């Protein structure tokens, strides 16, 4: 599921999907964004996925370990990263 789609979910469904509440998710994004800015201050190429998409993908995978269906939804994004 893309981040734009998950934003529209109600709080309970979002928590069921990711394992965290929306407020916690936004705090995690802020922390990751600061860390990414520190990393990128030295240079480097841009990420192909934004921070929200990256975090959402990790949380979905970690809450559904063993479920290959989630990975198939991100197949296009993962192929972009490999190129």
What's the pLDDT score for residue 83? 58
Share of the chain above pLDDT 90, in %: 25
Which residue's structure tokens are 């975090």? 55
Average pLDDT over residues 21-45: 89
Span 9-21, pLDDT tens digits:
898 888 888 889 9
Span 57-76, pLDDT tens digits:
999 888 766 566 666 667 76
Sign for the CA dihedral angle at 58, 77, 17, 33 comes to positive
Q: What is the pTM of this model?
A: 0.69
Least confident of 16-20, 24-28, 41-45: 41-45
**Greater confidence, 12 or 4?**
12
């Amino acid at each position: 599921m893309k981040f734009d789609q998950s934003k529209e979910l109600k709080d309970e469904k979002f928590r069921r999907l990711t394992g965290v509440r929306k407020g916690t998710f936004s705090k995690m994004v802020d922390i990751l964004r600061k860390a990414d800015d520190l990393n990128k201050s030295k240079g480097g190429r841009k990420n192909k996925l934004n921070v929200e998409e990256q975090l959402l993908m990790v949380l979905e995978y970690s809450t559904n370990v063993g479920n290959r269906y989630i990975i198939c939804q991100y197949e296009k994004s993962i192929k972009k990263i490999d190129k």
